[in-house]
Chain A
Amino acid sequence: MKPSTAETVFGFIGRKTNRILKDINDVSRLINNTFYWSFISPLKGRAIRLRATITEMVKVGYNAIPIVSVIALFIGIILALQAAYQLKRVGAIIYVANLVGVSLTRELAPILTAIIVAGRSGSAFAAEIGSMKSAEEVDALVSMGINPIRFLVVPKLIAMMIMLPALTLFADFIGILGGFLLSITELEIHPYSYFQQTIRALGIKDIITGLIKALAFGVVITIVGAYQGFKVTGGAEEVGRRTTASVVTSIFLVIVIDLFFTTLFYFFA
């Protein structure tokens, strides 16, 4: 007997719901374990892998400096140009410094850095863990009594939580430098008054909120990359698919979290 349309529809919804529930369960287990092995177990005397963490910091942070610099510089210039286009008409061109400074530190530097790092390192996490999963390397770790989350994810998480804010701070600086360079040449603002104006416009709060965002983005990018990696059960083709998925998902979640934090800061700051 063929199932009725209603049966098919409900069956479909049921299976989908089950899958989603299982995914949620898997993700929360991963988050739980990752935080346990990162922050609780070191207190119990089980130190994190320092050498691996430093290697990851170099890969995540140091190696991203060139691309982050170039993009931050260009974004600073673009921002200054766009701001000048509006402010020129009302004769308030000096406020270019405010716009560049505030929008970079509060918004653009964290999010651009996060997107670059998601593309560079989030995808690399997924690919690395995924190919280890498909080559039974993860099983081998477990069979040696080595927790794969402690071994693989924790150094990446610590590296991300340090390096993403650091890169963001760096992008703040380079971006403002870009705006500054354009303003003192093309817009003919006096260097010292631009500098003064930036100092006056920027509060420490603006920089801190940006860095808090960056920290959250770092956690999200790591968890998403690791989650997609551990989900691999098949071969190379699936590793590729999961890598792509990790980038798309982490960029999406970065934007969602950004919206959340920006709303929070808007109402409570």
Chain B
Amino acid sequence: MENAIEVKNLVTHYGDVQVLKKISFAMPRGKTTVILGGSGSGKSTLLKHLIGLLKPTSGKIEINGRDIAGMSEQEFNEVRKRIGVLFQGAALLNSMTLADNVSLPMREHTKLEESTMQIMVRMKLELVGLSGFENYYPSQLSGGMKKRAGIARAMAMDPEFLFFDEPSAGLDPITAAGIDELILKLRQAFKMTFIVVTHELPSVFTIADHVIMLDFGEVIFSGTIDELKASDNDRIRMFLERKAEKEVYSPEDYFRIIAGEE
């Protein structure tokens, strides 16, 4: 199995705080890899490094065998053309219509004719189930529609890699399932590598081929979805069975804190 992305001994900091603690893993090409983990485990931080928004303290991030951490901004801009990203809040530009949002990357990086671009935009919006919404502004759309439009924009340049940050967060279960369906559909239709950050278990079981699980900035699991289900690691079982962490305070402690006794 060939790997599209390999991360080697990645260490990252926010100021003095170490967030990712020397992690290594690989993501297979042409598959959907899900990055799983609790709140604050470092998923978004990892994603931002994978797409080059943040630079690591040390370690390597190899995309197609080339280390992006050591690249100049100019070199990396070439890599960026092969990467599409859906941000957590979709991050559509609010001052532009959907059509302009989707055509923006083409406008900036290609010399296509206006009419060609319009056809491409229509195709991309059709693909995500938003045909007819070309002239809508992002503020006129629901959360789920924004995510779909964000996916259309991410796919504008026909990228090799699609990154999704929490695609179903903040959506109702039905809309969220719709987004999962869309990801499955795209995955079947195109030979792309999908990297999805999420903590929604139903989503994971629907879309994942490969799973990487983060816990407090460390990789505690990397393998297929069946291996994940079969794992007997305590943290993984807690996550899969939705068990709460052991409470640090007992009810008596809470009472004492509220009453202001030391």
Residue positions of A touching B, CB distance < 8 A:
132, 135-137, 139-146
In the complex, which of the residues B53, B93, B108 contacts A143, with contact meaning CB atoms closer than 8 Å?
A: B53
Q: Complex Cα distance A145/B107, Å?
A: 12
- Residues of chain B within 8 A (CB-CB) of A135 are 89, 91, 94
Asked if B85 is at the interface (CB within 8 A of a chain A CB), the reply is yes
What's the minimum C-beta distance from A63 to chain B, rounded to whole angstroms? 16
Size class of the contact patch on chain B: 20 to 34
| Interface SS, B side | loop
Q: Please give me the 3 A-B residue pairs with the lowest Cβ-Cβ distance, nearest first.
A: A140-B91, A145-B80, A136-B91
Contact across chains for A145 and B94 when beta carbons are under 8 A apart? no
- Residues of chain B within 8 A (CB-CB) of A143 are 51-53, 80, 83, 85
Contact across chains for A136 and B80 when beta carbons are under 8 A apart? no
- Residues of chain A within 8 A (CB-CB) of B104 are 144, 146
Residue positions of B touching A, CB distance < 8 A:
48, 51-53, 77, 80-81, 83, 85, 87-89, 91-94, 104-105, 108-109
Contact across chains for B80 and A137 when beta carbons are under 8 A apart? no
Known A136-B91, A140-B91; judge A146-B51 contact (CB<8 A): no
Contact across chains for B91 and A139 when beta carbons are under 8 A apart? yes
- Residues of chain B within 8 A (CB-CB) of A146 are 104-105, 108
In the complex, which of the residues B53, B77, B81, B94 contacts A137, with contact meaning CB atoms closer than 8 Å?
A: B94
Contact across chains for A136 and B108 when beta carbons are under 8 A apart? no
- Residues of chain B within 8 A (CB-CB) of A145 are 77, 80-81, 105, 108-109
Known A143-B80, A144-B80, A145-B77; judge A136-B89 contact (CB<8 A): yes
| Interface SS, A side | helix
Q: Complex Cα distance A140/B85, Å?
A: 8
In the complex, which of the residues B88, B89, B108 contacts A144, with contact meaning CB atoms closer than 8 Å?
A: B108
Q: Complex Cα distance A94/B99, Å?
A: 62
Q: Complex Cα distance A132/B52, Å?
A: 19
What's the minimum C-beta distance from A101 to chain B, rounded to whole angstroms? 41
Contact across chains for A137 and B91 when beta carbons are under 8 A apart? yes
Q: Complex Cα distance A179/B80, Å?
A: 59
Q: Complex Cα distance A258/B168, Å?
A: 53
Looking across the interface, which residue of chain B has its beta carbon closest to that of A143?
Answer: B85
Looking across the interface, which residue of chain A has its beta carbon closest to that of B83?
Answer: A143
Q: Complex Cα distance A141/B95, Å?
A: 13
What's the minimum C-beta distance from B100 to chain A, rounded to whole angstroms? 11
Looking across the interface, which residue of chain A has its beta carbon closest to that of B76?
Answer: A145
- Residues of chain B within 8 A (CB-CB) of A144 are 80, 85, 104-105, 108
Q: Complex Cα distance A142/B52, Å?
A: 9
Q: Complex Cα distance A143/B81, Å?
A: 9
What's the minimum C-beta distance from B195 to chain A, rounded to whole angstroms? 13
Q: Complex Cα distance A146/B83, Å?
A: 13
Q: Complex Cα distance A143/B105, Å?
A: 10
Looking across the interface, which residue of chain A has its beta carbon closest to that of B163?
Answer: A143
What's the minimum C-beta distance from B25 to chain A, rounded to whole angstroms? 21
Q: Complex Cα distance A146/B81, Å?
A: 10
Q: Complex Cα distance A9/B5, Å?
A: 48
- Residues of chain A within 8 A (CB-CB) of B89 are 135-136
Looking across the interface, which residue of chain A has its beta carbon closest to that of B53?
Answer: A139
Contact across chains for A136 and B88 when beta carbons are under 8 A apart? yes
Q: Complex Cα distance A254/B81, Å?
A: 41
- Residues of chain B within 8 A (CB-CB) of A141 are 93
